[in-house]
Structure 1
Amino acid sequence: MAATRINGGATVQVKKTFVVPPPQRDTEEVPLTVFDLVAPAYHVTVLFAFSPPNPPTSDLVDALSATLPQFPLLTARLDHHHHAGRLRPCFVTGRGGAGALVVEAEVTSSSSLSDHLPLVPSPELAGLQPPVVETQHVLLVQINRFACGGLVVASSTQRQVADRFSMGIFYNAWADPRVATSQGHGIRVVDPCEIANLLLHFPTEFVAELKRRAQGKYTTFETVTAHVWKSITTVRGLDAGTRTSVSGRGRLGGTAVLPKEGFFGNLVLTASSGTTARELTISTLADVAALVRKGIRAVDRRYFRSFIDFGALHNDDDEEPLEPANMDVPGPNHLA
């Protein structure tokens, strides 16, 4: 059994690895939507930490097994199917799916879970996460139990399956399977070592000062994004842009494109703002916040509808749709 050392001298010991099988339904090939195709093809990992007392691991696995049939894409397999004489990426659900990989592990340490909090992104945290390199599973879960009774649950999901909003629905359903509901709907696995994480904490007073400098006309999100963009560009001295994820749920609600309820999948596009490094560094914070706002507001209902039409128009093309890749400073920003 594998053992990995994490912060504070603690060791993560893998006790059991198994697969929650896909629902025993007829195999179905679900083509990737235009939103799936522009989503990054890597796994996104989220860690949830729970102080004791906690339910036994078997209860968590039973709840997971009861919830997953309501989210067939999470037990699917990423493959290709023939469409119009060409191979197209698709999710294979039902009996042909890959299932969800589950790892049960114990953390041996004289310290308690609270001694390891907050869980700041670091290479050592890899021991608490399921392995995602060259995996056929779109969902992997690792349940780490500390000697003190604390629990860390790590969930890694292939980003082309669902956006953060949809995964939030799944996590809530897993916590209470009685209300689980879902519907709807080239591929390269990115090595996690290629992805860098940076955790920033801005005190309330600092944010208030930023908003004052931005003349109080912009939201906290727009102001902080402008500050980070301006600061990073000043340090690097390079032409750069910033991008923000914008959810289409609020922009497509009430249309035939989006079900009234129960949608699970991807419905996020990127809002882009760009200028030169020189202009950015000499501009006021209010000017930069205005650029961020302009980029976000440009991704409106008409933009989402045109993007869907674009995907339908080019459905038989060899090329897969891509969003513009002209950003040098991407950020973990998200708007509903």
Structure 2
Amino acid sequence: MVHEAINGHGHEVTVKVTSASTVAPALPVQEHRLPLSNLDLILPPMDVGVFFCYGAGEGSGGGGALLPAATLKAALAKVLVAYYPLAGEVVVNTRGEGELLCSGRGVDFAEATAGDAVLRQLRLAVVDESAEKLVPKKKAGVMCVQVTKFKCGGAVVGCTFDHRVCDAYSFNMFLVAWAAAARGSSAAPAPSFDRSFLAPTSPAPPCPDALSDRLFVPVSCVPAPPSSAPEAAAAAVNRIFRVAAADVAALQAAAGPGRTKLEAFTAHLWQLHARAAASPPRHRRSCCMGVVVDGRTRLRRDGAMGAYFGNVLTIPYGAMSSGDLSAMPLADVAGDVHRWVAEAATRDHFRGLVDWVEQLRPEPSVARAYLGGDGGAEAAACVVSSGMRMPVGEVDFGRGRPAFASYHFPWPGGAGYVMPMPSARGDGDWVVYVHAAAEVVKAMEEEETTVFRALESDYVFGPVQQ
């Protein structure tokens, strides 16, 4: 059995895996291979985690104890019939590219206990002490699950999946379907694996897409990272903050007319990164900020890709000197964010990106935003991915909505990664997952405007009843 220690509020919480099994689809899968799309192929091999906290008992929040693991497994087996790629594995084909082997091997499912601990002892804000031990490490297959039960009757459901197979939008569809199956509710619309949505132009266009060429680069053209890169990646800090709805509204107002909440937030984050990057010990002269853009509604305005399962992403970015960024009004920075996001949020760009990858295959590529953009390796880099469509209220396995939920993406690269999501309270607040350099996290904690607020147990689980 595996033992892991988590530091809570002055307590040590020990998580013990008590059983491990593999959940296969409820119906047999005819083994076959499903190619990854060209937009899947721009993703390197990396895993993404997500976890949901379900409170139970006095003062813990949430709707009640989680359903028995046997019920969760049965629901998982049922939903894997439609989401069969999640029960397979990624293998290498004859061209050296990854593709899905839909074999029905199943999903690794671990059951664990936190002993005498209660949920509110978890310091959720300090991800390396909490979620890191509650979200399982994937050893094989496309995804895995861990359900950890606490003395208070609460539980945490953690999942990890291969990003090459799907994006957060796709995995959210699966989570909603799994929860519905556990409740015995009617099935959600089946996912689509129709790769024709992302088929390259035939014959191929005579010249590469200029915007794709600016946003992505063949791996063979990426310069070797500086000797300090592994050290910087290892020094990254993982945190979860909360942002009050009033602060989100204030940022949007300051960003000016026509700017979205995400654009305003990204502009604020870009300036904060610039100030942190320009200070010791980094002294970075430039700062690069990227934003993940979903292309489903850009490629098909008729909603035909609403159920598409896979990656449909691009990552536009902006790069600017740290000094200029720090001195600019927020509205000007937000205007710049709006400009380069809008440039990439078009059908022409996504079609061009599909063709760009096709011309490059089988060589892999990487998004320049993760490499510092125009500033290269000497620039501070961060990417924002909106999790605002995370269906927190719909991931109800039959005993109520979660008290807390967050994605978890402590990737090994040198760039930061920030993901704002809706608070499970449903009051307009955000919870923000942050993977960034220590000086950036310090700047968040110490900023005068206090946009990034501490995530306290009372906020998540409610005050302790006297």
TM-score of Structure 1 vs Structure 2, range by shorter chain? 0.7 to 0.9
Structure 1 range deviating more: 164-173 or 193-202? 193-202
Aligned residue in 1 for 2:269: 228
The equivalent position to 2:144 in structure 1, one of 131, 140, 143, is: 140
Q: CA RMSD in A?
A: 2.6
Aligned residue in 1 for 2:436: none
Alignment gaps of 5+ in structure 2: 56-63, 195-218, 220-232, 279-283, 374-379, 390-466
Aligned residue in 2 for 1:213: 254
**Which residue identity lines up with residue 150 of structure 2 in the other structure?**
F
1:81 aligns with 2:88: no
- For residues 214-273 of structure 1, the C-alpha deviation after alignment (integer angstroms, 9 at most, x for no partner) is 344522211111111111111212211111111011101247xx8455311111111212
Is contact 1:34–1:321 with CA below 8 Å preserved after alignment? no
The equivalent position to 1:271 in structure 2, one of 289, 295, 316, is: 316
- For residues 76-122 of structure 1, the C-alpha deviation after alignment (integer angstroms, 9 at most, x for no partner) is 1111122xxx3322110035xx421110111112x432443756422
Aligned residue in 1 for 2:164: 160
1:30 aligns with 2:74: no
**Which residue identity lines up with residue 289 of structure 2 in the other structure?**
T
Q: CA deviation at 1:333?
A: 2.5
Is contact 1:273–1:294 with CA below 8 Å preserved after alignment? no
What is the TM-score when the length of structure 1 is the normalising length?
0.86
Alignment gaps of 5+ in structure 1: 187-191
Aligned residue in 1 for 2:298: 251
The equivalent position to 1:106 in structure 2, one of 113, 125, 137, is: 113
1:93 aligns with 2:134: no
Is contact 2:47–2:161 with CA below 8 Å preserved after alignment? yes
State the number of aligned residues: 320
Is contact 1:29–1:81 with CA below 8 Å preserved after alignment? no
1:292 aligns with 2:328: no
Aligned with 1:305: secondary structure?
helix
Q: CA deviation at 1:171?
A: 0.2
Distance in 2 separating the partners of 1:203 and 1:254: 33
The equivalent position to 2:355 in structure 1, one of 309, 312, 315, is: 309
Q: CA deviation at 1:205?
A: 4.0
Distance in 1 separating the partners of 2:93 and 2:254: 54
The equivalent position to 1:319 in structure 2, one of 363, 368, 379, is: 363
Distance in 2 separating the partners of 1:75 and 1:89: 16
Structure 1 range deviating more: 242-251 or 37-46? 37-46
Distance in 2 separating the partners of 1:221 and 1:262: 24
Assess, with a 3 A threshold, how the Cα gap between structure 1 residues 214 and 35 changes in structure 2: closer, same or farther.
same
1:72 aligns with 2:72: no
Distance in 2 separating the partners of 1:156 and 1:66: 19
1:126 aligns with 2:135: no
Q: CA deviation at 1:153?
A: 0.2
Assess, with a 3 A threshold, how the Cα gap between structure 1 residues 64 and 287 changes in structure 2: closer, same or farther.
same
Distance in 1 separating the partners of 2:113 and 2:47: 23
**Which residue identity lines up with residue 248 of structure 1 in the other structure?**
G
Is contact 1:45–1:154 with CA below 8 Å preserved after alignment? yes
Q: In percent, how many aligned pairs have the same letter?
A: 24
**Which residue identity lines up with residue 201 of structure 1 in the other structure?**
R
- For residues 185-215 of structure 1, the C-alpha deviation after alignment (integer angstroms, 9 at most, x for no partner) is 69xxxxx978642323333443444344334
